């Protein structure tokens, strides 16, 4: 049976809200009219201290856009995308038009199946190498959205990135405004639909970690655990730097994360250096020969953790917007 236009749009938006975002801020809004979905940046949910230029927020919106397209394909529909279609309305990041029907491939259905399962894993990973074949699959997924992945193993560049992550964490930790921002998005009532629940924070490490994960200033009640010695670092890069490329990078990042999930891999973000301007410049220089970097990922084989909460579709539709 062919799904109605209403159910198709609703399912696409339910997939969209499962995208990752900094501190689970969910910085997106949607306006829907029949076969047209508009994706907007929600400025009220942009991190003022960590992300004042909304780079990470646009990455998140690009990830939401990727989920929309993949879910439409799993429903045997085609979504035609127009990125940043109105230069006078820069927060209108994309318009998706549901243009017709075409049977989904098995790989598209696997990616769609991963949407509700994918989550950021801040817990320890196993000391197990990510295989060459898995890397090829992840890289291919990112390319399908116009982005590239750069895999960074032990090297001078790896050591540089580790140092920049540590420096960024120290700088951010010393910033009272940043700490207040983290506190706002952390924890809260059990029925909260955004932010990072305390149980989603990884346990304290038994000893010092080589790659420093973001500090959240609260302790997970789990006992301390040993983290992996040298996780695989992955940079998401594009051929340019602009709001448009932020959205493209977010879509490529998300498709790769869904492919990783379908392969049994876990991932978390190492965004700290991108939130300190001079350190972001150093990361950009480190990848100058590859493209423009937008974020860093830590990828490996992890222990199962739960998904974080999301707002409902009705909470992310603009006033006056509705699902037809």
Do 213 and 151 share a structural domain?
yes
Query: CA 23 to CA 28: how far, in whole Å?
Result: 14
Q: Could you tell me if 179 and 49 are in contact, meaning their C-beta atoms sit under 8 angstroms apart?
A: no
Mean pLDDT, consecutive 10-residue stretches, the chain (324 aa), reads 73 98 98 94 98 98 98 97 97 96 96 97 94 98 98 96 97 96 90 91 84 82 86 97 98 98 97 98 98 98 88 86 44
Q: Could you tell me if 138 and 285 are in contact, meaning their C-beta atoms sit under 8 angstroms apart?
A: no
Residue 162 lies inside a defined structural domain of this protein: yes
Enumerate residues 6+ apart whose C-beta is below 8 A from 306. Answer: 119, 199, 200
Nearest-5° Cα angle at 183, 179 to 188: 175
Do 226 and 152 share a structural domain?
yes
Query: CA 229 to CA 116: how far, in whole Å?
Result: 29
Residue 236 lies inside a defined structural domain of this protein: yes
Q: Choose the final residue of a domain: 64, 93, 117.
A: 117
Query: CA 144 to CA 252: how far, in whole Å?
Result: 7
Enumerate residues 6+ apart whose C-beta is below 8 A from 303. Answer: 121, 123, 124
* pLDDT for position 2: 52
Q: Residue 189: how many CB atoms within 10 A of its CB?
A: 7
Residue 308 lies inside a defined structural domain of this protein: no
* pLDDT for position 145: 98
Q: Choose the final residue of a domain: 52, 83, 117.
A: 117
Work out how many domains the chain is built from and give that number: 2
Which uninterrupted H or E stretch holds 206?
none
Do 76 and 211 share a structural domain?
no
Name which of 178, 174, 198 is nearest 187 in CA terms.
198
Residue 226 lies inside a defined structural domain of this protein: yes
Strand partners, 266: 300
* pLDDT for position 321: 44
CA-atom Rg of the chain in angstroms: 19
Residue 188 lies inside a defined structural domain of this protein: yes
Do 150 and 37 share a structural domain?
no
Do 287 and 227 share a structural domain?
yes
Q: Choose the final residue of a domain: 117, 146, 170.
A: 117
Look up the domain containing 54 and give its range.
Answer: 5-117
Residue 61 lies inside a defined structural domain of this protein: yes
In 28-124, alpha helices (H):
55-74, 106-114
**Residue where the block lists tokens 């992550």:** 165
CA 2 to chain centre: 31
Name which of 107, 114, 151 is nearest 132 in CA terms.
151
CA 132, 154, 114, 91: dihedral to nearest 10 degrees?
Answer: -120
Do 147 and 89 share a structural domain?
no
Q: Kindly state the tokens that stand for 230.
A: 């040298």
Residue 310 lies inside a defined structural domain of this protein: no
Do 186 and 43 share a structural domain?
no
Do 158 and 272 share a structural domain?
yes
Q: What is the CATH number of the domain that holds 62?
A: 3.40.109.10
Do 144 and 33 share a structural domain?
no
Query: 31 in helix, strand or coil?
Result: strand
Query: CA 309 to CA 150: how far, in whole Å?
Result: 30
Do 73 and 188 share a structural domain?
no
Residue 255 lies inside a defined structural domain of this protein: yes
């Amino acid at each position: 049976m062919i799904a109605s236009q209403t159910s198709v749009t609703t399912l696409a938006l339910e997939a969209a809200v499962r995208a990752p975002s900094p501190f689970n801020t969910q910085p997106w809004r949607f306006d829907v009219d029949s076969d047209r979905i508009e994706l907007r940046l929600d400025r009220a949910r942009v991190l003022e201290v960590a992300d004042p230029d909304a780079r990470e927020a646009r990455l998140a919106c690009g990830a939401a856009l990727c989920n929309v397209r993949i879910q439409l394909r799993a429903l045997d529909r085609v979504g035609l995308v127009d990125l940043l279609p109105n230069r006078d309305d820069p927060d209108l990041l994309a318009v998706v038009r549901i243009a017709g029907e075409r049977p989904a491939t098995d790989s598209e259905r696997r990616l769609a199946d991963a949407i509700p399962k994918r989550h950021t894993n801040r817990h320890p990973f196993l000391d197990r190498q990510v295989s060459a074949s898995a890397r090829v699959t992840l890289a291919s997924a990112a390319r399908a959205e116009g982005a590239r992945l750069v895999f960074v193993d032990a090297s001078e560049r790896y050591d540089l990135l580790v140092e920049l992550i540590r420096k960024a964490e120290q700088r951010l930790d010393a910033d009272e405004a940043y700490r207040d921002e983290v506190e706002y998005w952390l924890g809260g009532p059990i029925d909260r639909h955004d932010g990072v629940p305390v149980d989603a924070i990884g346990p304290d490490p038994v000893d010092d970690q080589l790659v420093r994960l973001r500090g959240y200033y609260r302790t997970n009640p789990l006992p301390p655990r040993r983290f992996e010695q040298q996780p695989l670092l992955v940079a998401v890069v594009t051929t340019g730097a602009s709001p448009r490329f932020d959205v493209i990078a977010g879509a490529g990042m998300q498709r790769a994360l869904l492919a990783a999930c379908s392969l049994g891999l876990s991932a978390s973000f190492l965004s700290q250096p991108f939130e300190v301007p001079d350190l972001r410049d150093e990361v950009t220089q480190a990848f100058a020969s590859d493209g423009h970097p937008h974020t860093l990922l830590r990828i490996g084989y992890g222990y199962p953790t739960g998904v974080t909460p999301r707002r409902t579709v009705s909470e992310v539709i603009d006033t006056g917007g509705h699902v037809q």
